[in-house]
Chain A
Amino acid sequence: MTPSKPVPAYLGEVEKRTKRDPSRTKRGKTQWPQTIVTLTAILALVVFALWGGLNPVLLAASIMVAAMPLLLAALGEMVVEKSGVLNLGVEGMMIIGAIAGFAIAVETGSPLLGLVAAAVAGAALSLIFGVLTQVLLANQVATGLALTLFGLGLSALIGQPYSGIKPPAFPRLNIPFLSDLPVIGPILLNHDLLMYITFALLALTWWFLYRARHGLILRSVGENHDAAHALGYNVIVIRLMAIAFGGACAGLGGAALSLIRVPQWTEGMTAGAGWIALAIVVFGAWRPGRVALGAFLFGGVTVLQLNLQAAGLTPLWLLVLGLLLFAVNSTAKSLAESTPAHTRAMIPLWIATLIMGMIATTYPISIQTQYLSMTPYLCTIVVLVVMSADRLRANLNAPASLGRTFHRTG
């Protein structure tokens, strides 16, 4: 039996001891390995592109355009999820935005009015979801799925007369001198207005979430809606506003597809972009900068799978790339956290990458293009699997009330 020490019941004493291990919960600590993996992926794709004789500057510019719809939709969904709502209807809101934007742009001849219409249509559709889930307390997952089906069907109906038409072109915003700069000019400063709006939205979202009081309130609602309610915040109104913002962003993303990226209207033209946007939010760990990075990565994959076929890249190289990413991931993790599992896996992974690379150079097997078209979707699945495998980290940034129904009592 240990005699008790006559420690006075003094604050500091007890406090020091009841503290949990702070290193475990510190934010951002384990995030750099993931950033390195992402950068490696981008770098590898650039190397492939150069090797295949593609113009990297033009390629980068087209990646920007391909990433724009994803970035818009993902950014909106991120804000929605930050408020604690899981809206799986991104695909439906995007395609409604795509047709609404397209139709209004064609009818009025003004692409700008088209953008406004797309945002309004997306927000309107999202508010159906908002009223159902927030006011009538419907299940969020089921309602979100229904919203996607509804959006796809409704857009097909509205879009019937519009297939095969060319929309009015956006005026290209060329900034004198700056747009003529080599490399940077064509990549960053020679785009449509919507691209600049997208970047402004990205910056604004970051500022709102992490610098503005209302952003703090929004995050608090997503973190613990009961506590936010107890402090006197109107959880339902805040969530409805976040949902409407997410819908407007998804609508804009859809318009970016139908008015800029493609540009024309075809039924079901989003082809899963909304689902990829949802994956990007998870990939980006609910942080604006990383969500943007994810959007460019996925946009890059989409563009490259088209170009790389032309450049004569065999699918075996994609396996090499996959292995390379796993190897880089293990190395970065074993350096960052000295996790024994990663250290053990590191060397076999590098060897496998090398062997696979040699096989790929010796046997240039070609493959049907349909399989290459799968790559963006395969990447989505792989990313979701990898992210979900590490539950601890995935949960750290995820809003704690995500997907939970708020039921006001008392």
Chain B
Amino acid sequence: MSALLSIRGLTKAYPGVLANSDIRFEVAAGEIHAILGENGAGKSTLVKTIYGLVTPDHGEMYLDGKAFEPRGPQQARAAGVSMVFQHFSLFEALTVAENIALGMAKPPKAADLGRQIRDIANAYGLSVDPDRLVGELSAGERQRVEITRCLLQNPRILIMDEPTSVLTPQEVQTLFATLRRLSDQGVAILYISHKLDEIRSLCHHATILRSGRVVGACRPAEKTTRQLAEMMIGLELTRPLPRLFTPGEAVMTLRDLTVPAETPFGTTLKRINLSLRTGEVLGIAGVAGNGQDELMRVLSGETRVPRECMIFDGRQMGHRGPTYRRIAGLLSAPEERLGHAAAADMSLADNAFLTGRQRQRLAYRGFLRTTSTTNFARAIITRFDVRTPGTDTPARALSGGNLQKFVIGREILQRPKVLVVNQPTWGVDAHAAATIRTALRDLAANGTGVLIISQDLDELMEIADTFSVLESGTLTAPQRTGSLTIDEIGLMMGGSTQEAPNAVA
């Protein structure tokens, strides 16, 4: 097979970072080629270069043996390169057809476009209704819209950037079926992911990136997941050991919690009942946008609810704000690291003060106690191995994994009675993720109730004792982890278990 796309010596530097350095690989027609690497390895920069969004500093790309230098996505699309983005490039307030028209150079008339969308969607088994608003669609449906948009332009190379991070396991299987079909028709697919099992089952070849460089190439089917992982991160992985789970008294209870949506495309929480016991790690699974953010805001106190809806430590606390809850021992770490969990331009010490003020007594009669604050920040940095020059570094300067360790560590060191975390390891490198997971388990072992909201099923299977699924704003009764397979949980995430199963004791 001759190469359809070949990349030679591609280099791109950003101030302070070498995002891509001398990248070379080739992709043949009909090949599904994995670009494998951790967050920050340079995968996204690489594919954005191919899609014309980033201009490389050095290096050449050849398409069909001819030099390929797209100066924008329009040119790349005209040459037959299409891309499905990780965070979908869709417009929620527009219809599916309008969204698709925006991605085309010369869209046909509305009626023709609708017919074309249906034709191509049916041909590939993707069900897409052109007249619906994208804001009403689930993540899986949105991805089908993006794929349909690409297919309408008869692409020769399709780039998929982390396509499965928001899908249920069943949706992943459907996606793979579509991709294999495209591959049979001769479309080359560049598949970006750090999920090793997926790559092993789907991809023909893999190029492995680390810190912007190609560190290896292989046929993924011939390697074990462990080998791939070690090629990817360059060191060995440790997994926390399973532990005995002996739940204590219920420390936090939600009763019939109903919260109407605040934004047009937000989710309404419907009659949520939940009970968290001391020493328990409760995982809440679900595809993004099913009420996770709303639930998080209720638990942290950002959204006030009727006082009787939430009982913490024997006290009704639904109407209390975050500060009162912190004093009582209910701490939380939201999903968005910069801007929500931490203030980007403030130093780590100041950020430590923001949530540690009450429980760590970092203020005295309205004055800051700077020494205690710095000591507290330094304790977090030492205890959780946060790589940073010092406590004066602004939060913005830390990498995702280091900042996440800091944010989670800041709450853990305050000895909470209950800790609520949302997506604790999202976008965090494998090493930091393992540290955070171990720390959360240790915290629970000391009697804290830990509630983890996460979209990463593997993570929940690994550290949660019990878990529930949040789907369209309703929460299933808790299940003992290990009692269900990933497939069964996937069906729950799609909302197929309507009746509430019996809760575990």
Given known pairs A223-B93, A395-B263, A400-B92, the reply for A2 and B497 (CB within 8 Å) is yes
Contact of B107 among A4, A18, A213 (CB under 8 A): A213
Number of A-B contacts (CB under 8 A): 140
Determine whether the beta carbon of A2 is less than 8 Å from that of B496.
no
Binding stretch for chain A, among B206-214, B264-272, B370-378, B449-457: B264-272
Residues of B within 8 A of A22 (CB): 132, 136
CA A227 – CA B48 in complex, angstroms? 13
Contact of A232 among B73, B168, B261, B484 (CB under 8 A): B73
Complex interface residues of chain A between 1 and 36 (CB less than 8 A to chain B)? 1-2, 4-5, 7, 9-15, 17-22, 24-25, 27
Residues of A within 8 A of B92 (CB): 223-224, 400
Determine whether the beta carbon of B53 is less than 8 Å from that of A410.
yes
Complex interface residues of chain B between 78 and 133 (CB less than 8 A to chain A)? 85, 87-94, 98, 101-103, 107, 125-127, 132-133
Binding stretch for chain A, among B169-177, B275-283, B359-367: B169-177
CA A25 – CA B267 in complex, angstroms? 10
Q: Chain B contact residues (Cβ within 8 angstroms of A): what range?
A: 35 or more
Contact of B72 among A9, A24, A232, A397 (CB under 8 A): A232
> Is B74 located at the chain interface by the 8 A CB criterion?
yes
Binding stretch for chain A, among B316-324, B397-405, B487-495: B487-495
Contact of B52 among A27, A232, A397 (CB under 8 A): A232
Binding stretch for chain B, among A104-112, A166-174, A214-222, A306-314: A214-222
- Interface of B: prevailing SS: loop
CA A5 – CA B499 in complex, angstroms? 12
Contact of A227 among B77, B88, B127, B268 (CB under 8 A): B88
> Is B501 located at the chain interface by the 8 A CB criterion?
yes
> Is B141 located at the chain interface by the 8 A CB criterion?
yes
> Is A231 located at the chain interface by the 8 A CB criterion?
yes
Contact of A15 among B88, B89, B94, B127 (CB under 8 A): B127
> Is A341 located at the chain interface by the 8 A CB criterion?
no
Given known pairs A217-B102, A219-B94, A232-B72, the reply for A18 and B262 (CB within 8 Å) is no
> Is A389 located at the chain interface by the 8 A CB criterion?
no
Least Cβ–Cβ distance between A84 and chain B, in angstroms: 11
CA A17 – CA B169 in complex, angstroms? 15
Contact of A21 among B53, B85, B94, B472 (CB under 8 A): B472
Determine whether the beta carbon of A17 is less than 8 Å from that of B501.
no
Determine whether the beta carbon of B264 is less than 8 Å from that of A395.
yes
Contact with A along B44-77 (1 / 0, CB 8 A): 0100100011100000000000000000111001
- Interface of A: prevailing SS: helix
> Is B238 located at the chain interface by the 8 A CB criterion?
no
Contact of B140 among A14, A217, A223, A231 (CB under 8 A): A14
> Is A378 located at the chain interface by the 8 A CB criterion?
no
Determine whether the beta carbon of A25 is less than 8 Å from that of B140.
no
CA A24 – CA B77 in complex, angstroms? 36
For A229, the closest partner residue in chain B by CB is B53
Least Cβ–Cβ distance between B371 and chain A, in angstroms: 36
Least Cβ–Cβ distance between A197 and chain B, in angstroms: 30
Determine whether the beta carbon of A15 is less than 8 Å from that of B141.
yes
> Is B479 located at the chain interface by the 8 A CB criterion?
yes
For A408, the closest partner residue in chain B by CB is B53
Determine whether the beta carbon of A13 is less than 8 Å from that of B263.
no
Residues of A within 8 A of B102 (CB): 216-217, 220, 228, 231, 233
CA A2 – CA B169 in complex, angstroms? 19
Least Cβ–Cβ distance between B34 and chain A, in angstroms: 22
Determine whether the beta carbon of A1 is less than 8 Å from that of B73.
no
Contact of B48 among A2, A220, A233, A410 (CB under 8 A): A410
Complex interface residues of chain A between 368 and 393 (CB less than 8 A to chain B)? 391-392
For B88, the closest partner residue in chain A by CB is A227
Contact of B171 among A14, A395, A410 (CB under 8 A): A14
Residues of A within 8 A of B45 (CB): 410
Least Cβ–Cβ distance between A34 and chain B, in angstroms: 16
Least Cβ–Cβ distance between A311 and chain B, in angstroms: 43
Contact with A along B239-276 (1 / 0, CB 8 A): 00000000000000000000011111101100000000
CA A410 – CA B102 in complex, angstroms? 21
Complex interface residues of chain B between 117 and 172 (CB less than 8 A to chain A)? 125-127, 132-133, 135-141, 168-171
CA A2 – CA B483 in complex, angstroms? 10
Complex interface residues of chain A between 293 and 337 (CB less than 8 A to chain B)? none
Residues of A within 8 A of B497 (CB): 2
Contact of A24 among B85, B101, B261, B502 (CB under 8 A): B261
Contact of B262 among A7, A213, A216, A391 (CB under 8 A): A391
> Is A142 located at the chain interface by the 8 A CB criterion?
no
Given known pairs A12-B127, A14-B140, A410-B45, the reply for A27 and B133 (CB within 8 Å) is yes
Determine whether the beta carbon of B53 is less than 8 Å from that of A230.
yes
CA A217 – CA B54 in complex, angstroms? 22
Residues of A within 8 A of B479 (CB): 1
Given known pairs A392-B262, A410-B45, the reply for A25 and B494 (CB within 8 Å) is no
> Is A192 located at the chain interface by the 8 A CB criterion?
no
Write 21 A-B pairs (CB below 8 A) sorted by A numbering: A1-B483, A1-B502, A9-B170, A9-B174, A11-B127, A14-B171, A14-B494, A18-B168, A27-B133, A213-B101, A213-B107, A216-B102, A217-B102, A227-B88, A227-B89, A227-B90, A227-B91, A392-B263, A392-B264, A395-B263, A399-B93
Identify 5 new A-B residue pairs, CB closer than 8 A, beyond the known A20-B136, A226-B87.
A4-B488, A9-B173, A18-B495, A19-B138, A224-B90
8 closest residue pairs by CB, A with B: A232-B73, A18-B138, A17-B495, A227-B89, A9-B170, A4-B488, A2-B501, A14-B494
Residues of A within 8 A of B (CB): 1-2, 4-5, 7, 9-15, 17-22, 24-25, 27, 213, 216-217, 219-220, 223-224, 226-228, 230-233, 391-392, 395-397, 399-400, 410
Residues of B within 8 A of A (CB): 45, 48, 52-54, 72-74, 77, 85, 87-94, 98, 101-103, 107, 125-127, 132-133, 135-141, 168-171, 173-174, 260-265, 267-268, 287, 471-472, 479, 483-485, 487-488, 491, 494-497, 499, 501-502
